[in-house]
Amino acid sequence: MQQTETAPAARRVDWSRLVDYGVLPGLALVLALAAGLLKGLDSSARDAADTRVESVQVARDAATAMLSYQPDTVDQDLGAAGDRLTGGFRDSFARFTRDVIIPRAKQQRVSAKAQVSAAGSVSATADRAVVVLFVDQIVTVGEAAPTKTPSRYRVTLDQVGGRWLISAFDPI
């Protein structure tokens, strides 16, 4: 007697079930991960842009304060400007203003007014920013005619205690 083996019947693939329970959930997971990644990248880009804008504004305001004073209020004017500085630069600014600027302003009746005509961000991270400033400073000595001096500065700012403070102020 001859025995014949019968091949098992081919199992039919239920494509709708495969798509419903395999492909669609996998696709949904990939899309959710991609959306999360893009949201994170967008948030980082916005944070960097906000940092640039904020650091440029702080540099503009601080430079104006550092370079503007009146002979009668020079101590207060430059003292307030010193609150916007940090580190070794703060110390050298305090020394220079105390030893040179304040005595000269009082003795010779020197007044100075600074105005930032242009500013731009060079680089910015969460804790450090570099800004370039174009500054016009008008200085009046006694009753003499005022003189206007244009200058450019490279300003380095550090994030200290949640505030942007100037750590370097270099003419360029």
Ordered by start, the domain boundaries in the chain are 16-65+111-171
**For the chain, how many helices (H) and strands (E)?**
5, 4
Residue 36's pLDDT is: 81
Specify the DSSP element, H or E, that contains 133: strand 128-141
DSSP notation for 39-90: HHHHHHHHHHHHHHHHHHHHHHHHHHHHT-B-TTTHHHHHHHHHTTB-HHHH
Residue 49's pLDDT is: 85
- Give the N- to C-terminal CA distance of the chain in Å, as an integer: 105
**pTM of structure:** 0.73
β-strand 128-141 against 110-124: which pairing, if any?
A: antiparallel
Tens-digit pLDDT string for the chain (172 aa): 566 666 566 677 677 777 777 788 888 888 888 888 777 766 666 677 889 999 999 999 999 999 999 999 999 999 999 999 999 999 999 999 999 999 999 999 999 999 999 999 999 999 999 999 999 999 999 999 999 999 999 999 999 999 999 999 999 9
Residue 21's pLDDT is: 76
Measure the CA–CA gap between 124 and 58, rounded to whole angstroms. 13
Residue 25's pLDDT is: 81
CATH class of the domain at 16-65+111-171: alpha beta
